[in-house]
């Protein structure tokens, strides 16, 4: 109930703010409302005036846009063959969702196993730290290029973006849990280190880990945008990237709101677990 | 293909992607053979010019069907022309069919004979007719006459075309096209595109960057091809518009013929060809590329690199090089300007950098600024808030008629000083006169002479510094046959119906 209440209060405020901010950012960007055909020598002065008038007529106010949006009419894309934006999102959401979910699972399973085993065997801990720091230092664009060149799925690139943070947090939680007095007591009673880790440390670190997984969902969604754009994966991230470059406000707005919703829901869920 | 088609309506198509798709899904009354640059019969088997070229009577091919099986008749031609001249449609293909308020009239004489009367004399009328895609009166959006129909469109990634079962062209008694399905990938990134070609996922690359070309040629021998100078051109111009928000002393430099010529003489075009295009380009002498057999002015020489001559011209204009190695104008102001160009174009960025180096040797400081394309268009087309611009044209149309809005001083695309009420200079007045002259006659010799004069004036006055025509570089899988590359768009798919595929 508390989660639902938080969502009801926070989500509309976030969407209003993000929506307005996104709107202003695109609306005020240089080149907004400019048609490339204006420098096409086949168009006469009258034709260019007509093009400019057309662009002016399609520039909506945030209020009229919000009204249309709430009625489920997202409009049509100016960049992608004039097709309905709802259709564009419908065609692409499954690919991005799959990539993000698979990446989150892969990154967290690997982090938990690696950090857990690292607590038992030092060389594994060091190697995990080296890998996570290396991935943290690499620009995500470069990781994406690598993923594309080896022909790996986009999920691998997103997982590579989430893993360093996931590993650092997991490692810290496992080490904190392993230094609790009750863990020392269990070890003193002769319980094996693996049993201590699996039974006791898991119980101590588990709830915090779950809340962190929720928070990292936001990171994965953010990473999906450049990964899909560079790896040429036709998901929502690629759509958002292309729409932003083309100043395609009608296409960009529902995507901004969708991403904001996912991030907000994930954060509230994480807080609830914490 | 680099971007999504903005429309699938062939009469509205203006961007390259839309033009490409609609070229494959529609058919025209006359056909322009890209290889010979000659006009051949298309949907019209024959045609006759009347009233000194103002009226054309076309005999249409019988038994032709749209992709939905409905017959093609003169009514479809009439429908297309009426739609084309509708001012609400704002078609980029309508200029020859409109003259002020007057528009072309179309008469259906019989189901297979149609007459079009133009509002004014149209030089190169056949070329115009070869550019108008005919649409179905009954089923405009779904039915086409081209070799392919759009079967699937996945925005941002893919367009699948499947063969039109009713396509009228045949070869050896067999109905074309030979390939059943064409998949057009929408790929913004040239490196990704080349990599996919290398992996065998793509089979035809319409345009390849020179650096990638070298790599493809090395890795996949015989699959990368150079078809010679294209119809694309790279050029630079200075903002001469008096209403532009440019410092008055800079406007004075840009309006000086000596200054512009000095800039042109100081640029090493050979270096641009060698370093930017790896030698796969031609130094540009003028606007018209050498591949344009009809309109290229033979004997027009590119501005040579002549550093001393450039210095002399600047001295004559009162510019002096001081001890700090900077050039100063008559008023003692340092010569410095910004050069804008579009971002995400590696070749253009390198050209800008070479120009910066070349002009730096004269003591001129050039500041390069890149903008994304919409911002650049806003500056050069609306606010005029720039000093110099480096840009390019792709696929310059063959006939000078298409350059009217650019070359006439009153034109909106007269880049260096657009929308003039009266010509600002005597030489622009001369260009206006010659352009109007070539537009008012159907006599090919007179038209050529007038357009040659325009090219000569552009070379002498240097309002635009023409730099290079890059070569048409493409890559084709050895499994794809009958690829005949040309320098006119669509460079590789103009004969798509004849392309064939073999797995061996």
Q: Domain segments of chain A: what residues?
A: 89-273
Are the Cβ atoms of A39 and B382 closer than 8 angstroms? no
Chain B nearest C-alpha distance from A31 (Å): 4
Indicate whether A61 pLDDT > 90.
no
Strands B365-371 vs B336-342: parallel, antiparallel or unpaired? parallel
Are the Cβ atoms of A44 and B192 closer than 8 angstroms? no
Chain B nearest C-alpha distance from A151 (Å): 10
The distance of Cα B211 from the centroid of its chain, to the nearest Å, equals 23
Look at residues A123, A131, A77, A102 and name the one whose alpha carbon lies nearest to residue A239.
Answer: A77
Interface mutation vs chain B, best among A26, A31, A149, most B CBs within 10 Å? A31
User: What ipTM does the predicted assembly reach?
Assistant: 0.81
- The three-point CA angle B40-B45-B47 to 5° equals 80
Are the Cβ atoms of A78 and B6 closer than 8 angstroms? yes
What own/partner pairs with CB < 8 Å and gap ≥ 24 does B42-50 have? B42/B130, B43/B72, B43/B77, B43/B134, B43/B145, B43/B168, B44/B129, B47/B126, B47/B129, B49/B125, B49/B442
Indicate whether A1 pLDDT > 80.
no
The full set of domains in chain B, from first to last, is 27-129 (3.90.76.10), 148-223+477-501 (3.40.190.10), 233-470 (3.10.105.10)
Chain A nearest C-alpha distance from B407 (Å): 9
Are the Cβ atoms of B92 and A77 closer than 8 angstroms? no
Per-residue tens of pLDDT for chain B, all 504 residues: 888 898 899 999 988 899 999 999 999 999 999 888 899 999 999 999 998 888 999 999 999 999 999 999 999 999 999 999 998 898 999 988 988 788 999 999 999 999 999 998 888 889 889 999 999 999 999 999 999 999 999 888 899 999 999 999 999 999 999 999 999 999 888 888 999 999 999 999 999 998 899 999 999 999 999 999 888 999 999 999 999 999 999 999 999 999 999 999 999 999 999 999 999 999 999 999 888 888 999 999 999 999 999 999 999 999 999 988 999 999 999 999 999 999 888 899 999 999 999 999 999 999 999 998 889 999 999 999 999 999 998 876 778 888 899 999 999 999 999 999 999 999 999 999 999 999 888 888 999 999 999 999 999 999 999 999 999 999 999 999 999 998 888 889 999 999 999 986
Are the Cβ atoms of B403 and A41 closer than 8 angstroms? yes
Indicate whether A57 pLDDT > 80.
no
Indicate whether A3 pLDDT > 80.
no
* Mean per-residue pLDDT over chain A, rounded: 82
Q: Give the A window 24-63 contacts with B, CB below 8 Å.
A: 29-32, 34-48, 50-51, 54
Interface mutation vs chain A, best among B155, B158, B200, B288, most A CBs within 10 Å? B155
Query: Using CB atoms within 10 A of its CB, is residue A150 exposed (0-12), middle (13-18) or buried (19+)?
Result: exposed
Q: Which two tokens stand for residue B367?
A: 């500041």
Per residue, the 3-state secondary structure of B174-223, as one string, reads: EECCCCCEEEEECCCCHHHHHHHHHCCCCCEECCCCHHHHHHHHHHCCCC
Are the Cβ atoms of B87 and A83 closer than 8 angstroms? no
User: pLDDT value at position B407?
Assistant: 95
Fold of A89-273: MetI-like fold (1.10.3720)
Interface mutation vs chain B, best among A32, A80, A255, most B CBs within 10 Å? A80
Interface A-B: count of C-beta contacts within 8 A: 123
The β-bridge partners of B57 are B48, B115
Residue A42: closest CA among chain B residues belongs to which residue?
B92
């Amino acid at each position: 109930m508390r989660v639902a209440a938080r969502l009801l209060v926070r989500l509309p405020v976030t969407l209003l703010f993000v929506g307005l901010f996104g709107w202003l950012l695109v609306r005020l960007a240089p080149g907004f409302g400019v048609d490339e055909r204006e420098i096409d020598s086949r168009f006469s002065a009258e034709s260019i005036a007509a093009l400019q008038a057309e662009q002016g007529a399609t520039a909506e106010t945030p209020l009229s846009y919000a009204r249309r949006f709430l009625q489920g009419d997202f409009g049509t894309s100016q960049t992608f063959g004039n097709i309905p934006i709802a259709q564009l999102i419908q065609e692409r959401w499954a690919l991005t969702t799959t990539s993000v979910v698979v990446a989150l699972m892969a990154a967290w399973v690997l982090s938990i196993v690696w950090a857990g085993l690292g607590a038992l065997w030092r060389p594994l801990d060091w190697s995990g730290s080296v890998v996570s720091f290396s991935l943290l230092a690499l620009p995500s664009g470069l990781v994406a290029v690598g993923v594309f060149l080896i022909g790996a799925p986009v999920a691998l690139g997103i997982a590579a973006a989430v893993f360093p943070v996931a590993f650092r947090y997991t490692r810290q939680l496992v080490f904190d849990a392993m230094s609790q007095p009750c863990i020392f007591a269990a070890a003193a009673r002769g319980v094996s280190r693996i049993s201590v880790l699996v039974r006791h440390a898991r119980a101590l670190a588990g709830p915090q880990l779950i809340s962190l997984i929720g928070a990292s969902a936001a990171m994965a969604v953010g990473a999906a945008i450049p990964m899909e754009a560079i790896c040429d994966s036709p998901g929502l991230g690629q759509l958002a990237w292309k729409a932003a470059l083309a100043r395609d406000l009608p296409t960009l707005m529902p995507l901004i709101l969708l991403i904001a919703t996912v991030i907000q829901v994930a954060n509230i869920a994480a807080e609830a677990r914490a | 293909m680099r971007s999504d088609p903005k429309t699938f309506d062939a009469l509205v198509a203006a961007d390259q992607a839309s033009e490409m798709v609609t070229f494959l899904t529609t058919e025209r009354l006359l056909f322009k053979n890209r290889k010979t640059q000659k006009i051949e019969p298309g949907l019209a088997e024959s045609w006759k010019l009347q009233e000194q070229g103002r009226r054309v009577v076309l005999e249409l091919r019988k038994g032709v069907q749209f992709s939905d099986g409905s017959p093609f008749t003169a009514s479809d031609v009439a429908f297309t022309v009426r739609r084309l001249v509708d001012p609400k449609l704002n078609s980029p293909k309508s200029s020859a069919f409109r003259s002020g308020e007057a528009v072309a009239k179309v008469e259906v004489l019989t189901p297979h004979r149609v007459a079009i009367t133009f509002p004014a004399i149209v030089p190169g009328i056949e070329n115009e007719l070869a550019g108008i895609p005919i649409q179905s009166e009954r089923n405009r959006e779904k039915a086409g006459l081209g070799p392919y129909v759009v079967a699937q469109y996945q925005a941002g990634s893919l367009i699948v075309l499947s063969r039109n079962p009713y396509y009228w062209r045949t070869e050896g008694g067999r109905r074309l096209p030979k390939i059943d399905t064409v998949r057009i990938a929408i790929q913004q990134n040239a490196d990704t595109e080349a990599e996919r070609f290398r992996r065998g996922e793509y089979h035809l690359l319409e345009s390849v960057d020179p650096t990638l070309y070298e790599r493809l040629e090395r890795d996949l021998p015989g699959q990368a091809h150079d078809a010679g100078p294209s119809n694309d051109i790279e050029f630079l111009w200075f903002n001469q518009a008096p209403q532009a928000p440019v410092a008055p002393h800079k406007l004075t430099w840009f309006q000086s013929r000596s200054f512009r010529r000095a800039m042109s003489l100081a640029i090493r075009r050979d270096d641009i060809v060698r370093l930017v295009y790896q030698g796969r380009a031609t130094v540009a002498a003028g606007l018209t590329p050498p591949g344009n057999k009809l309109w290229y002015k033979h004997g027009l020489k590119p501005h040579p690199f002549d550093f001393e001559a450039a210095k002399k011209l600047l001295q004559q204009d009162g510019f002096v090089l001081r001890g700090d190695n900077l050039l100063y104008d008559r008023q003692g102001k340092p010569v410095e300007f910004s050069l804008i160009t579009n971002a995400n174009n590696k070749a253009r960025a390198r050209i800008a950098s070479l120009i910066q180096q070349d002009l730096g040797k004269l003591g001129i400081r050039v500041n390069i600024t890149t903008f994304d394309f919409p911002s650049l268009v806003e500056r050069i087309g609306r606010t005029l808030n720039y000093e110099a611009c480096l840009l390019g044209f792709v696929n310059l149309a063959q006939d000078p008629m298409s350059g009217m809005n650019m070359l006439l001083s009153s034109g909106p695309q007269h880049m260096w000083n657009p929308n003039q009420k009266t010509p600002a200079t005597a030489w622009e007045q001369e260009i206006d006169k010659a352009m109007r002259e070539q537009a008012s006659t159907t006599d090919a010799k007179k038209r050529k002479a007038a357009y040659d004069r325009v090219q000569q004036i552009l070379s002498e006055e240097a309002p635009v510094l023409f730099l290079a025509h890059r070569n048409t570089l493409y890559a084709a899988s050895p499994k794809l046959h009958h690829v005949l590359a040309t320098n006119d768009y669509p460079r590789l798919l103009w004969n798509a119906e004849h392309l064939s595929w073999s797995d061996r």
